[in-house]
């Protein structure tokens, strides 16, 4: 009987039920889209910001002390070095999968054939690594300096020019020396002299434009600094800092055990720095604050906007449901009055009306979820030029939100229904 009544109502009032389902679908679709984008936007924004460079730098402890004392971050070597052999360990930390890319640097003072001083920067370009975990990685400045404009030639390809003496030259220096790709330049370091073939001329828009960039081992050989690294730049996917992260950044020892575990197991930039320091001997890893702060601020604001849109859409849906359900109950007041007159208790009638609404909400919610997945993809492709990952956790969240919105929207109608007196509606007292 109950099912016959539900079926009868749903079919008889299909236009109204369709409107309710549509309202719920609208709210659910916006909630799905916003929540999906919100949960995925961290990675998306991080990836966007990664194109603007590293967000962590690692230097020898001694160099860090000098930098802190004199507040300088120059090219001058402090005489302390990191061990090149430990570089692979960076991909073994707890948050290894969040390490997007990294590159070591060594600055070597050298002289050109005309006697003028020059800085040769040794680094990885597209250095191939086989990690202890079995993972393979191509790391280096080719991807970390993606904004460099190659004015002549190509990016230096380490993998196809192994052991060859090649380099890239900054545009200012290239103009000064009249160099172009295919030319050679002779540089003399403290221990050896090399004739480097220019494979590309780049425009970085900074001091690099007056430097020569060569593979790490080439630069090391110039100064007999095999296995030595001045600094490492790391590009990592991070979570925006909060109070816990700020407290930990000052002193991890000030944290309680549970706080420490939470912090260590969250991809805060400070915890990733801490974990890098654990694997690189005598190192100090510190966030590049400008980038880290930008990430945090952009993420927080974007997520806040998404939350606000979600809340507003759900309030709108709730108000819509409220109007439609109340109108439906008003239209059916004589039917509801009759049910009460022939013995239906308030619970039975409320149960009937709520079941109808929840069946409608289920249809609207499912339709809204799939529509929301579509909206999320449109947002993803329009804003981030990539797909948005719809996480399974969205389903229960949206389900709970739909139930809440439907319940809240139904409250006025149910209250009206409970107050409805059969004498009033049947006899018009």
H or E element in which residue 201 lies: strand 193-203
- Candidates 126, 266, 334, 355; binder of other proteins (CB under 8 A) is 334
Task: Please state the closest distance from residue 325 (CB atom) to other proteins, in A.
Answer: 18
Radius of gyration of the chain (CA): 32
CA distance 123 to 228: 11
Task: Please state the closest distance from residue 1 (CB atom) to other proteins, in A.
Answer: 4
Please identify, using beta-carbon distances, which residue of 132 and 347 lies nearer to other proteins: 347
- Told to check if 6 binds other proteins by CB under 8 A, we report no
Please identify, using beta-carbon distances, which residue of 76 and 424 lies nearer to other proteins: 424
Cα–Cα distance list, 37 to 16, 32, 44, 178, 313 (Å) = 32, 8, 9, 50, 15
- Told to check if 339 binds other proteins by CB under 8 A, we report yes
Task: Please state the closest distance from residue 257 (CB atom) to other proteins, in A.
Answer: 55
Task: Please state the closest distance from residue 10 (CB atom) to other proteins, in A.
Answer: 10
Please identify, using beta-carbon distances, which residue of 219 and 329 lies nearer to other proteins: 329
Which of 9-17, 69-77, 126-134, 279-287 is the region at the interface with other proteins (rule: CB under 8 A)? 9-17
Structure token pair of residue 17: 């039920």
- Told to check if 18 binds other proteins by CB under 8 A, we report no
Which of 4-12, 169-177, 245-253, 279-287 is the region at the interface with other proteins (rule: CB under 8 A)? 4-12
Task: Please state the closest distance from residue 358 (CB atom) to other proteins, in A.
Answer: 19
The backbone region for 60, taken as left when phi is positive above 0, alpha when psi lies in -120 to 50, beta otherwise, is beta
- Candidates 12, 176, 289, 391; binder of other proteins (CB under 8 A) is 12
The backbone region for 370, taken as left when phi is positive above 0, alpha when psi lies in -120 to 50, beta otherwise, is alpha
Q: Are 216 and 234 in contact (CB under 8 A)?
A: no
Please identify, using beta-carbon distances, which residue of 2 and 147 lies nearer to other proteins: 2
Task: Please state the closest distance from residue 422 (CB atom) to other proteins, in A.
Answer: 5
- Told to check if 69 binds other proteins by CB under 8 A, we report no
Task: Please state the closest distance from residue 347 (CB atom) to other proteins, in A.
Answer: 9
Please identify, using beta-carbon distances, which residue of 415 and 427 lies nearer to other proteins: 427
Structure token pair of residue 395: 């389903």
End-to-end CA distance of the chain: 30
Please identify, using beta-carbon distances, which residue of 14 and 147 lies nearer to other proteins: 14
- Candidates 53, 67, 335, 377; binder of other proteins (CB under 8 A) is 335
With tokens 């302390």, the residue in question is: 80
CA distance 364 to 314: 13
- Told to check if 330 binds other proteins by CB under 8 A, we report no
Q: What is the DSSP string of 38-103?
A: HHHHHHHHHHHHHTT--SEEEEEHHHHHHHHHHT---S---S--EEGGGGGGGGGSTTGGGEEEEE
Number of residues that bind other proteins (CB under 8 A): 27
Count how many Cα atoms sit within 13 Å of the Cα of residue 367 in the half-sphere of its side chain. 16
- Candidates 5, 137, 204, 315; binder of other proteins (CB under 8 A) is 5
Strand partners, 201: 152, 169
**Opening angle at CA 249, ends 246 and 250, nearest 5:** 95
Nearest residue to 113 via CA among 206, 204, 182, 212? 212
- Told to check if 186 binds other proteins by CB under 8 A, we report no
Please identify, using beta-carbon distances, which residue of 42 and 337 lies nearer to other proteins: 337
Task: Please state the closest distance from residue 404 (CB atom) to other proteins, in A.
Answer: 28
Binding mask 340-359 for other proteins (x = CB under 8 A): xxxxxxx-x-----------
Q: Which residues of 333-356 are buried (b: 16+ CB within 10 A; e: fewer)?
A: beebbebbeeebeeeebbebbbbb
- Told to check if 331 binds other proteins by CB under 8 A, we report no
- Told to check if 131 binds other proteins by CB under 8 A, we report no
Please identify, using beta-carbon distances, which residue of 149 and 331 lies nearer to other proteins: 331
Q: Where on the chain is the footprint of other proteins (CB under 8 A)?
A: 1-2, 4-5, 8-9, 11-12, 334-335, 337-346, 348, 421-423, 426-427, 429
């Amino acid at each position: 009987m109950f099912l016959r009544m539900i079926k009868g109502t749903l079919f008889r009032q299909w236009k109204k039920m369709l409107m309710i389902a549509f309202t719920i679908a609208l709210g659910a679709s916006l909630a799905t889209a916003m929540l999906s984008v919100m949960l995925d936007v961290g990675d998306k924004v991080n990836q966007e910001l990664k194109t603007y460079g590293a967000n962590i730098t690692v230097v020898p402890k001694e160099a860090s002390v000098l930098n802190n004392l004199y507040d300088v971050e120059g090219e001058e070597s402090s005489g302390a070095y990191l061990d090149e052999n430990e570089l692979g360990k960076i991909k073994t930390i707890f948050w290894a999968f969040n390490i997007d890319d990294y590159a070591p640097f060594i600055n070597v003072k050298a002289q050109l054939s005309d006697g003028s001083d020059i800085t040769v920067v040794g680094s990885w370009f597209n250095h191939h690594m086989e990690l202890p975990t079995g993972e393979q990685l191509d790391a280096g400045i080719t991807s970390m300096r993606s904004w460099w404009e190659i004015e002549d030639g190509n990016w230096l390809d380490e993998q196809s020019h192994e052991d060859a003496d090649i380099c890239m030259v900054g545009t200012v220096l290239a103009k000064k020396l009249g160099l172009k790709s295919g030319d050679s330049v002779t540089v003399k370091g403290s221990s050896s002299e090399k004739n480097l073939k220019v494979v590309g001329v780049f425009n970085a828009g900074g001091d690099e434009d007056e430097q020569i960039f060569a593979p790490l081992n080439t630069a090391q050989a110039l100064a007999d600094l095999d296995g030595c690294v001045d600094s490492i730049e790391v590009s990592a996917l991070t979570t925006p800092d909060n109070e816990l992260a700020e407290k930990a950044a000052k002193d991890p020892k000030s944290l309680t055990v549970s706080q420490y575990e939470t912090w260590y197991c969250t991809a805060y930039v400070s915890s990733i720095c801490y974990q890098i320091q654990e694997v690189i001997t005598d190192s100090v890893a510190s966030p590049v604050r400008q980038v880290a702060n930008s990430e945090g601020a952009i993420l927080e604001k974007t997520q806040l906007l998404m939350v606000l849109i979600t809340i507003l859409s759900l309030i709108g849906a709730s108000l819509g449901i409220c109007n439609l359900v109340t109108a439906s109950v008003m239209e059916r007041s004589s039917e509801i009055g009759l049910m009460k007159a022939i013995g239906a208790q308030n619970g039975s009638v409320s149960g009937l009306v709520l079941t109808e609404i929840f069946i409608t909400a289920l249809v609207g919610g499912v339709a809204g979820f799939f529509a929301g997945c579509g909206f999320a993809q449109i947002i993803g492709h329009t804003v981030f030029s990539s797909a948005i990952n719809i996480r399974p956790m969205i389903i229960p969240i949206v389900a709970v939100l739909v139930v809440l919105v439907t319940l809240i929207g139904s409250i006025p109608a149910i209250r009206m229904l409970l107050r409805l007196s059969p004498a009033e509606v049947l006899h018009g007292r």
